[in-house]
Amino acid sequence: MGRGIAGTGRVTVRAGKATASGTKRAGLATAKGAQKVGRATRRLTHANGAGRTGLGRLIELSAGNSAADALVTVALASTVFFGVPLGEARGSVALYLVITMLPFALLAPFVGPILDRFRSGRRYVIAGTLFGRGLLCFAMAAAVGPGDLPTLFLGALGVLVLSKAFNVSRAAIMPSVLPADITLVSANARVALFTLVTAGIMVPIGAGLTAWLGSATVLRLAMLLFLVVGVFGVRLPRHVDSPELEEEGEAPRWRTLLKVGPTVAEAVWANVAIRVFSGFLLFFLLFLVQDKQVPWLVQPYPGAPAPFFDGPKTIAVLAAAAGLGGLIGAMVANWTRNHAPQLIVLVTLAVTAAATITAGIFFGLWAAVGISVVTAFAQELGKLALDAIVQREIGEEVRSSTFGVVEAVLQLAWVFGGLVGLVLSLTESSMAGLITLAVFLTVAFCWLIVHRRRRVRAAKAELRRQRAAAKAAGTAGGTAEGTAGEPAGTRPAEPKIDSTVDPTKPLTNPNG
């Protein structure tokens, strides 16, 4: 019997060793797989000279920032948006939209100038936005348990403001890390691609962790991730910090849309129209689906089988469609490379208007999926083109100020669109809401086209006038010289013609 016990013990030991060996091999295989994925990712982020200039590090930093933001979004969505009854959800969402609108309207003139005054320490500004969001996540995690909604709202507002400050700083330093053979549109698209892919990976992970561990734990994980990514923000290349410039006089420290020049202004207004529709579509479809006022959720007769696409499945499909549209927009932006960004923003607005009219007439599940894809595509592609225009057209001394104003205007447009979507969802009519916004988009597109044509005609007329004046001056100079006895046919050099009609056009970025 003793021998049997001893044999059983040896078998148990051997089984334990085999299990430990198998676990070790699995761990090593996982580690090797992670290393291969890391190397492949590093090759992609550092391609085309991006590793030498610092663009690769900026892409990786933006991906980490996107991952942390995704965790915060999932945790807050389960707490604020879907954790209350439907009747209260509308009020909570409206309150959230309003409290995000007012601070941006007040802070827009100040955020950009503050960032411009810290051009020599942009690495620390970027890191500060990450560390600040980490602390806010800690505060929001403590407020989840007792259901402290004011703290959650204020924390969400702070996270949003710091997230916009991060985006402004990142966009402002993009020209300083731009490799020689990559255009601004392509570089912005590369950043967007990695941030979208990272967010797409982290959203389901965050949703699973939220269901398993709760929102508070996920917010604490986001806090840790923000702090780690903030350390990498400090380690950006030193040349992203611009030297302080000697300023002559009291130059304006921020620019309104009336002072950025017509090229930037047109791109901004096109993006404003798209952003209004994006905010509208999100909340309009969300509450139509929750109210079951869409055709695929209505039972044709009592006792009919339940629809396959219920409310949660529909929301998941629409969210996936929006993510796919954003990814396609970033890929197309990378493909367009040398195409004029001014043309891109107008095309995105036209495509959005046409798709909205089609979806309003033939509304159904696939029409809703299609308009979600098109809207996210247009928003992503239009914003990347706008960023490239601002980076090219705006001088570095006020670039952060301009980006701050642009981000604030776009955020206000999205909030306004969301409020419109909340109101029109009460009509419970998909056609009425979509056609109303389609008319708005069409009017905006036609206005921009008319404005652009007038500007082009005025520029051509001014150029012809300057050439005629230069020719007349040259002729007069040649006659005077002939009278003085100088050799015939000699004329002074014609003066340089300035084809810029708008005297407020900012400095042109040499890297554009």
Report the mean per-residue pLDDT for the chain: 79
Q: Determine the Cα angle at 511 with ends 505 and 512, to 5°.
A: 55
Which amino acid is it at 328?
Answer: I
Rounded CA separation 466/450 (Å): 24
At residue 118, the 3 state secondary structure works out as: coil
Instruction: Please identify which residue in the block is written with the tokens 């998941």.
Output: 316
At residue 425, the 3 state secondary structure works out as: helix
Q: Determine the Cα angle at 117 with ends 408 and 396, to 5°.
A: 75
Taken in order of first residue, the domains within the chain and their CATH numbers are 49-243 (1.20.1250), 254-297+307-473+502-512 (1.20.1250.20)
Q: What is the pLDDT of residues 26-78, one digit of tens each?
A: 556 555 655 666 677 778 777 777 888 889 899 999 999 999 999 998 998 77
Query: Low-confidence residues of the chain, pLDDT below 70?
Result: 1-38, 79-89, 92, 96, 99-112, 242-259, 298-309, 337-339, 476-512
Give pLDDT, residue 510. Answer: 42
Produce one character per residue of 84-121: b if its CB has 16 or more CB atoms within 10 Å, e if not.
beeeebbebbeebbebbbebbeebbeebbbbbbebbee
